[in-house]
């Protein structure tokens, strides 16, 4: 690039109108050439002088005075702004996707049927350890007690809501198995077998 073209590019740079791919190269040139830095200074001054509130306060050697003072300071050697961000975003994205998928799966598999349990019980052990009562007032609770004794979560006479839940869960597992097969992955296949076993009992 000829010098005049570089001057023109600096003018575009200070307007924020230089394409990104040319920016770094031009900044590199600016850092190497005192002539280009002077042009940078002149163009910025011209812009300032055109602003309505411009007032001249500085002698023309101000920047070189500051540069001399900065030369007495040690050079900075720190991680540049944003240095850690690409790495963070690179692992955050797939992790966030995985976490979302896992949450949805967990809600679909566990969230819906735990709602059928009483109180705060969330696992089979407390139910199974409860003593089986003999005095039974309605058939539903009787079947539930029987199921509890067998250590299962499922009522032997599920209501309409239970049927819906089972239907949704089965559809979810079927979809999952189909997509897992298509993608050649195992996924929740083992879990679906466990559910089938429970049903057979």
Partner 1 sequence: MSDKDIDLALVKRVQRGDKRAFDLLVRKYQHKIAHLVARYVRDTSEIQDVSQEAFIKAYKGLANFRGESAFYTWLYRIAINTAKNYLASQARRGDENGVDAQEAEQFDGADGLREYASPERVLLTEEIKQTVHETIKELPDDLRVAISLREFEGMSYDEIAEAMECPVGTVRSRIFRAREAIDQALKPLLGRSEEV
Query: Which residues contact partner 1 by CB under 8 A?
Result: 7-8, 11-20, 23-24, 27, 30-31, 37, 40-50, 52-63, 65-67, 69-71, 73, 75-82
Instruction: State whether residue 167 is helix, strand or coil.
Output: helix
Q: Which helix (H) or strand (E) is 36 found in, with range? A: helix 34-50
Q: How near is the Cβ of 191 to partner 1 at its closest, in Å?
A: 45
**Backbone φ and ψ of 30, nearest 5°:** -60, -40
Cα-flanking dihedrals φ and ψ of residue 53, to 5°? Answer: -95, 20
Give least dist CB 35 to partner 1, A.
13
Q: Tabulate helix, strand, coil % of the chain (nearest 5).
A: 65, 0, 35
By C-beta, is 78 or 190 nearer to partner 1?
78
Whose Cβ is closer to partner 1: residue 44's or residue 161's?
A: 44
Q: Are 4 and 35 spatial neighbours (Cβ–Cβ below 8 Å)?
A: no
Residue 38: name the closest of 79, 74, 1, 6 by CA. 6
Nearer to partner 1, 79 or 129 (CB): 79
Query: Least separation, in Å, of the C-beta of 196 and partner 1?
Result: 55
Q: Which is nearer to partner 1, 57 or 201 (CB)?
A: 57
- CB of residue 85 vs partner 1: minimum separation in angstroms? 10
HSE-CB of 127 using CA atoms within 13 angstroms: 23
Name the residue among 169, 171, 190 with its Cα closest to residue 115.
169
Which CB atom, from 63 or from 163, has the smaller least distance to partner 1? 63
Provide the minimum distance between the beta carbon of 3 and partner 1 in the complex, in angstroms, as a whole number.
12
């Amino acid at each position: 690039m000829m010098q005049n073209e570089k001057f023109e590019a600096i003018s575009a740079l200070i307007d924020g109108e230089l394409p990104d791919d040319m920016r770094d190269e031009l900044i590199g040139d600016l850092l190497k050439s005192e002539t280009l830095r002077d042009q940078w200074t002149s163009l910025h001054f011209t812009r300032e002088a055109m602003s309505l509130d411009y007032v001249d306060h500085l002698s023309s050697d101000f920047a070189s005075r500051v540069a001399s003072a900065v030369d007495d300071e040690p050079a900075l050697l720190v991680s540049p702004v944003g240095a850690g961000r690409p790495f963070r975003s690179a692992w955050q994205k797939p992790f966030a996707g995985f976490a979302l998928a896992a949450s949805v799966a967990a809600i679909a598999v566990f969230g819906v049927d735990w709602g059928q349990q009483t109180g705060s019980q969330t696992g089979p052990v407390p139910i199974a350890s409860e003593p089986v009562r003999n005095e039974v007032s309605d058939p539903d609770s009787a079947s539930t007690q029987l199921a509890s004794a067998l250590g299962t979560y499922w009522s032997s006479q599920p209501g309409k809501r239970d049927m819906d839940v089972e239907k949704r869960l089965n559809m979810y597992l079927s979809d999952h198995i189909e997509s897992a097969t298509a993608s050649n992955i195992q996924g929740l296949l083992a879990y679906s077998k466990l559910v089938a076993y429970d049903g057979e009992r």
